[in-house]
């Protein structure tokens, strides 16, 4: 992950402005100054991508297909999920993509899906958690859990736990969770993670879950690193997607400053392809943006109280709420 002194200075300056870093400008400058190369071939590598029917997850699927991965593409909308799989087939000879239509907060459907993957493959090389949304108004999942927490935290926990044995059977599996720069505004606080209907604010609930996703991503690396599993969180910047338009319409007005889905997906696909650890074997976890490891706190108070016990506590919290045990 070496870079010239000049590109390091420019990167730091972009990062300090926030808007420069998160917008299309950040991607344009970094990708050109550092002459980003495509990650290597994924022929024979099996990767599951959630949120593949739209936006960033759809663009991640396209990029992994171009690299010849064998893909399982999860979405909720049948037509768009099947279209994503057809696109993957067309993008590269040798890429295979299976569309999987399910709601990730449906525990039974997720278990059935994990069993299906396990019936076909004896290992899994990648798992990308891109499904997610910002809900401006309070909503709950069928089990009563507030929907931001159910979708952004408990559902990825359940799926990862179920697929854990397969991931650990790959020599070098990569888990990538699509978090958000919004997480910089909130600290990790398990007691205030789930918002009540009375106190609910969509942007706050979203930022808290995005922060918790980063904590959980470290915990997967801590638990499974010895089995060769790397676990990253990534923030895509501000990306022009249907999710941004519905969840944060004020940001959607930034128009030409927004990244394309492919630009937002670049680092996610790069991590899922194992490129970070190939460039530097020390990079097996962390919070990435534009192919670089980033600090996890911009505001001093979000680091206050953070401790090494956060990951294990969050993991136990998720385990208790999902009641998930791994597939045998
Ligand atoms: N856009 C941004 O600027 C931005 C910035 C930071 C982080 N992110 C994160 O990036 C990820 C992708 O968002 P996006 O902007 O690409 O939004 P998007 O275009 O709305 O895509 C969201 C994807 O998540 C899927 N999804 C949501 N809830 C689901 C559920 N319960 N079950 C199954 N699939 C579900 C959607 O499936 P269907 O469409 O089939 O329902 C869709 O494929 C999210 O985690 C988001 O928080 C986005």
Q: What is the pLDDT of residues 221-245, one digit of tens each?
A: 999 999 999 999 999 999 999 999 9
Residues whose CB falls within 8 Å of the CB of residue 265, separated by 6 or more in sequence, listed in order: 56, 57, 59, 60, 62, 63, 236
Q: Which residues pair with 71 in a beta bridge?
A: 47, 97
Distances (CA, A) of 272 to 119, 173, 208, 248: 22, 8, 24, 27
148 lines ligand 1 (CB under 6 A): no
Task: Work out the angle at residue 202's Cα, subtended by the Cα atoms of residues 140 and 320, and round it to the nearest 5 degrees.
Answer: 45
Residue identifier of the C-alpha nearest atom 24 of ligand 1: 131
177 lines ligand 1 (CB under 6 A): no
- The string of pLDDT tens digits covering residues 24-81 is 999 999 999 888 999 999 999 999 999 999 999 999 999 999 999 999 999 999 999 9
For the cut 70, the answer to whether the pLDDT of residue 171 exceeds it is yes
- The string of pLDDT tens digits covering residues 105-120 is 999 999 999 999 999 9
For residues 7 and 196, which has the higher predicted lDDT (pLDDT)? 196
Atom of ligand 1 nearest to the CA of 103: 32
Confidence tier at 2 by pLDDT (50, 70, 90): low
What is the average per-residue pLDDT within 288-313? 95
Pocket test for ligand 1, best of 61, 83, 131 (most atoms within 8 A of CB): 131
**Domains contained in the chain, CATH given:** 5-322 (3.40.50.720)
Q: How far is the CA of 58 from the centre of ligand 1 (A)?
A: 9
76 lines ligand 1 (CB under 6 A): yes
Distances (CA, A) of 196 to 160, 199, 202, 248, 321: 27, 5, 11, 21, 17
Q: Which residues pair with 3 in a beta bridge?
A: none
Active-site choice (27, 184, 206, 283): 206
Residues whose CB falls within 8 Å of the CB of residue 133, separated by 6 or more in sequence, listed in order: 148, 151, 243, 246, 247
Across the chain, what does the average pLDDT equal? 94
Q: What is the pLDDT of residue 3?
A: 63
């Amino acid at each position: 992950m070496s870079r010239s002194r000049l590109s390091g200075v420019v990167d730091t300056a972009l990062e300090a402005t926030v808007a420069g870093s998160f917008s299309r400008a950040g991607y344009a400058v970094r990708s050109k100054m550092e002459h980003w190369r495509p990650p290597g071939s994924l022929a024979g590598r099996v990767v599951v991508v959630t949120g593949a029917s739209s936006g960033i997850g759809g663009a991640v699927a396209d990029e992994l297909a171009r690299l010849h991965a064998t893909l399982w593409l999860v979405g909720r909308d049948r037509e768009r999920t099947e279209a994503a799989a057809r696109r993957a087939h067309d993008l590269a000879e040798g890429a295979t993509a299976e569309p999987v239509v399910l709601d990730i907060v449906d525990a039974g459907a997720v278990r059935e899906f994990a069993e299906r993957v396990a019936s076909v493959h004896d290992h899994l090389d990648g798992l990308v958690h891109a499904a997610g949304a910002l809900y401006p108004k309070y909503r709950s999942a069928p089990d009563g859990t507030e929907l931001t927490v159910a979708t952004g935290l408990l559902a990825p926990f359940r799926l990862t736990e179920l697929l854990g044995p397969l991931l650990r059977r790959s020599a070098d599996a990569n888990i990538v969770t699509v978090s958000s720069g919004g997480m910089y505004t909130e600290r990790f606080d398990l007691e205030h993670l789930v918002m009540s209907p009375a106190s609910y604010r969509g942007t706050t609930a979203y930022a808290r879950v995005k922060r918790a996703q980063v904590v959980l991503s470290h915990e997967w690396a801590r638990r499974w690193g010895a089995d060769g599993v790397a676990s990253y969180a990534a923030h895509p910047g501000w990306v022009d997607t249907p999710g941004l338009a519905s969840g944060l319409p004020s940001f959607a007005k930034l128009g030409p400053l927004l990244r394309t889905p492919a630009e937002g997906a670049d680092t996610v696909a790069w991590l899922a392809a194992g490129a970070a650890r190939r460039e530097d074997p020390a990079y097996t976890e962390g919070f990435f943006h534009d192919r670089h490891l980033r600090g996890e706190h911009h505001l001093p108070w979000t680091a206050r109280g953070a401790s090494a016990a956060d990951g294990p506590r969050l993991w136990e919290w998720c385990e208790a709420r999902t009641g998930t045990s791994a597939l045998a």
